[in-house]
Chain A
Amino acid sequence: MTPHRIVVGAHYGWRDWLAQRVTAVVMAVYTVLLLGLLLWFGGLDYAAWKSVFGNDAFRIATFVFMVALLWHAWVGVRNILMDYVKPAYVRLTLQVLVIGVLVGYAGWTIQVLWGGK
């Protein structure tokens, strides 16, 4: 009998492929939600903006959006670096920089959403 063994591949490619699509759908839903709420509250003025982002549930939704965005950006930028940057040490350095920037964006998001309170 043949043992059920997977002989090739690390299989993270398929995981990234799926993550890229799930995060994309999350972001698309959030975009529709944000545009809908802004329209509901009367457009792009200060009052509308404040009412939309003043809501705690919407802040959580925004945070979920940002996590999806940063994950999505990591998969995308990593693919670009793997395609165009050939020397391994340069690529590794750039990848570490990108991770640093993404973590920084995450911290900044938390500050923007909850820092003022």
Chain B
Amino acid sequence: MAAIDRPVAKPRPVYLNLFAIRMPLPAVVSILHRASGALLFAIGIPLALCAVQNALVSQEAWAQMRVNLDAPFPKLVVIVLAWAFIHHLLAGIRHLLMDAHVGVELGGARRSAALTLVLSVVLTIAIAVRLW
């Protein structure tokens, strides 16, 4: 009996070069959802607890916190966390809509991904402008 012809194995990439891959917009939203979630867990929660704690102690503690926040680096941290929160919230709402079969087709998914990215940046800029 003749040996079965096996297809010659094609050369496969041995690693994935993230800089060579052009990610579609929904993938960008997805990885930023993950990154923003990690950021909120590691920095967002403790800073928010710190802020609420100060805010509830006394008027002086509140005033002191406002003075501490009135510098470029703390403002930058607040703005980055605001972006993380807004992006995570909007991407989450997009997720829930897709669970309900809204916008699951390719065109809709791309449009909602673009909307999520743009809206989160626009809202973050609005907060940054008010803060600065």
Residues of A within 8 A of B (CB): 21, 24-25, 28, 31, 46, 49-50, 53, 69, 73, 76-77, 80, 105, 108-109, 111-112, 116
Contacts and interface: CB of A to CB of B under 8 A. Distances in A.
B41 A77 contact: yes
A69 B52 contact: no
A21 B96 contact: yes
Interface string B75-118: 00000000000000100110110010000000000000000000
Contacts of A31: 89
A98 to B, nearest CB: 8
Given A21-B99, A105-B46, A105-B49, A112 B56 contact: yes
Q: Chain B interface mostly helix, strand, loop or mixed?
A: helix
Chain B interface residue number, banded: 20 to 34
Interface of B: 34, 37-38, 40-41, 45-46, 49, 52-53, 55-57, 59, 62-63, 89, 92-93, 95-96, 99
Contacts of B63: 46
B49 A112 contact: yes
Given A28-B93, A49-B62, A69 B45 contact: yes
A53 B39 CA distance: 25
Contact of B96 (A24, A105, A116): A24
B87 to A, nearest CB: 14
A77 B34 CA distance: 9
